[in-house]
Amino acid sequence: MAAMTDERLCALVSELVKDCENYRDELAIDRIKAMEYYDGTMKDVPADANRSKVVSRDVRAAIKKVLPSLIRTILGNDKVVEYAPVNEGDEAAAEQATDYINYVVFPESNGYDAVQDAAHDALKLRNGVIRWWYEKETTVQVSTHTGLDEAALIQLVGDDAVEVLEQSQTVETLETLQGPVEQPLYNVKIRRRSEQGTPRLAGVPLEEFLIHPDTISIEDSPITGIATRMRRTDLIAMGHDRDLIESLPASTGDDGRDDEEFTRRRRAFEAKDAVPKALEEVDYYELYVKVDADDDGIAELRRIVLAGGTGEENLISNDEWDEVPFADLIVERRPHQREGGSVTDDLAEIQRVKTVLMRQTLDNLYWQNNHQPIVQEGAIANPESVLNPKFGQPIRVSQGIDARAALGYTMVPFVAKESFAMLSYLDQEATDRTGISDASSGLAPDALTNMTARATALIEQAGIGQTELMVRTFAQGLRRVFKGLLRLVIKHQDRPRMVRLRGQWVSFDPRHWNAGMDATVNTGLGAGTRERDMMMVQMVQQLQEKLLMTLGPDNPYVSPDNLYNGIAKSVEAAGLKSPDLYFSKPSPEEIQRRMQASANQPNPEMQKLEMRAHVDAEKARLSAENNRRKLEIERELKLAELQQNGALKRYQIDAELNLKRQQSLAEAVSGEPVTSVHIGGRTG
């Protein structure tokens, strides 16, 4: 069989589009009701005449509680997404892609607004849809330049993107050393055209999103796309044939789609005035269809663009394509279904009951504050003073009539107090159904008094458990968005780009990156609270420190990368931004160089032992020297003592000899013996 003709293709696509639009209109009923409950209109609970019209806004309150936590947890991280290598050698490219997408592409593509819009739709309307595309923008700037010399003029108009609109020339006489010289000057008016391509992310209004009713996910759908309205001038600016676009019929509107759009925008449009043909809106279909166009038995993905209808004459583009640029995001999974669960599904019944109770309660209070008068006919001379009372205005009673009998007031029982307990019960029921409480909105349970820290911690963990599940489910859907964004950048950026990152100019060339890299969305959610995470990281760091002190840097347990990971986790647990702002991760070359330098240096432990041995030897030497000096001093003292004793002996001997000599001389003179005298000892 021959390849599929445009007529057969458009007929097939037209049938698929009808199925998608019928499915969209069925879902629009629930979505319109959800938007009415969020906005507080609630047409299904009309108020009685002359009674309270108050509406409980439980759906809005719950969404406004959980939405900041969801957005802060996902978009509050310094790196919203991280790409993981899938092949050997992709590590460097994965790090570059992570930095480039997080710090450059995602902010430039309005990614923050797109994610927030999709999260809001998912919480309120069950599903949020994000699409991505590459947008080429052509900007035209008209400027006037005066007083240009010939060199400046050539440099200005030398660019191919510059078109000269007006030009004039004047002659100026300049005084020089050689005399007056005439200098021609030029005045020009130019138009500069510049074209720049930028990846774009945007949330898709659900009334414009088309998907087949029999599918469970976008990957399985035979058709996915958008059905919207675009002006003729925008279609021509996109590069489509002008004659074809101008021949297309103007849009007549779609009741199902318009009803949902009017409800979403919360206003009704008046009848349109006549507009120029270029500004007329045309039905626009951008569809991604799986069809066997070449009759090989395998359905291929094709991008089909239709304008003004779905017939063959409305086909303006039919190309082969590589992916469906849409992501379907939910916050609560329903097994084996594409639609997720929403906050509105859980709270619509509660909001309806609370609205009725609040109206009845207020009506009862109004009756208590404004009693209904009971007046005897003809008894009051001025009935207006009773019907429209004024401060100080007297009520005149007819002559002879008792005032108490003439005027009375109905006694309405006060039953509003019974409603307050029911309203509190419904608030608790809403928390049980959704898991959205003050804890999930950011109010710490520690604010509750008379409770232990353990009790408040349990309340906090129970209060944020379901909210964490919402965040993880939503982040899982964002993986498809970031994968598509990476493929979009690799496909369309055909030259390196210099950007300023962390105070330095860095060049990114996505042409050599692997488009199949896996993406992980950082949610910033751990196994427990932030305080617990910080405590556990500190325990790990202390253990790392002990191992490093015991076994040294070259040990099999703690590597430099392990140490940096501990530092990075401590920064993240503290709730700060990227650890790169506070700590620099050393490169493997620097780590190797430092380890080699430390290996060439003496071992600190050996140095300590050598120093200790040297100190001990010095102590021994000093001790020996002290002992030697002590012995010398003792020897000198002994010697001095001996010398002193010897001198004393000699003195005694000399004295005895002199005394004996004198005795002998005395005996010789007197002729009589003299008594013996002993000096220095006993008599003898």
Give the whole-number percent of the chain exceeding pLDDT 90. Answer: 34
* pLDDT level of residue 490 (50, 70, 90 thresholds): very high
Strands (E), 120-220: 128-148, 162-176, 179-204, 209-211
More confident call, 159 vs 290: 290
Question: Cα separation of 512 and 320, whole Å?
Answer: 23
Neighbours of 248 (CB within 10 A): 21
- Residue 450 has what pLDDT? 46
More confident call, 534 vs 479: 479
Q: What's the chain's average pLDDT? A: 84
Span 148-177, average pLDDT = 82
Instruction: Say if residue 650's pLDDT is above 60.
Output: yes
* pLDDT level of residue 233 (50, 70, 90 thresholds): confident
The model's pLDDT over 601-615, given as tens digits with 9 standing for 90+, comes to: 666 667 777 788 888
More confident call, 527 vs 324: 324
- Residue 556 has what pLDDT? 84
Residue pair 252/258 in contact by the 8 Å Cβ criterion = no
- Residue 677 has what pLDDT? 54
Question: Cα separation of 101 and 74, whole Å?
Answer: 15
More confident call, 578 vs 376: 376
Residue pair 548/604 in contact by the 8 Å Cβ criterion = no
* pLDDT level of residue 586 (50, 70, 90 thresholds): confident
Please tell me the pTM assigned to this model: 0.73
Most confident of 150-154, 353-357, 547-551: 353-357
The model's pLDDT over 414-457, given as tens digits with 9 standing for 90+, comes to: 888 888 889 999 999 998 888 887 766 654 444 434 444 454 45
Print the SS3 string covering 372-391: CEEECCCCECCCHHHHCCCC
Give the whole-number percent of the chain exceeding pLDDT 70. Answer: 88
Closest CA to 28 of 116, 118, 125, 128: 125
More confident call, 586 vs 669: 586
User: Facing residues of 192 across strands?
Assistant: 141, 162
The model's pLDDT over 48-70, given as tens digits with 9 standing for 90+, comes to: 898 999 999 999 999 999 999 88
* pLDDT level of residue 271 (50, 70, 90 thresholds): very low
- Residue 641 has what pLDDT? 85
Span 10-21, average pLDDT = 94
Question: Cα separation of 438 and 531, whole Å?
Answer: 19
As given in the structure block, the two tokens for residue 416 are 């509003």
Span 509-520, average pLDDT = 91
Instruction: Say if residue 166's pLDDT is above 80.
Output: yes
Tell me which amino acid residue 284 is: Y
140-154, 208-222, 574-588: which range is least confident on average?
Answer: 574-588
The model's pLDDT over 75-121, given as tens digits with 9 standing for 90+, comes to: 887 789 999 998 888 888 999 999 999 989 999 999 999 999 999 99
- Residue 442 has what pLDDT? 52
Closest CA to 329 of 318, 316, 338, 317: 338
Tell me which amino acid residue 255 is: D
As given in the structure block, the two tokens for residue 647 are 């001198």
Burial of residue 98 (number of CB atoms within 10 Å: 0-12, 13-18, 19+): buried
- Residue 524 has what pLDDT? 64
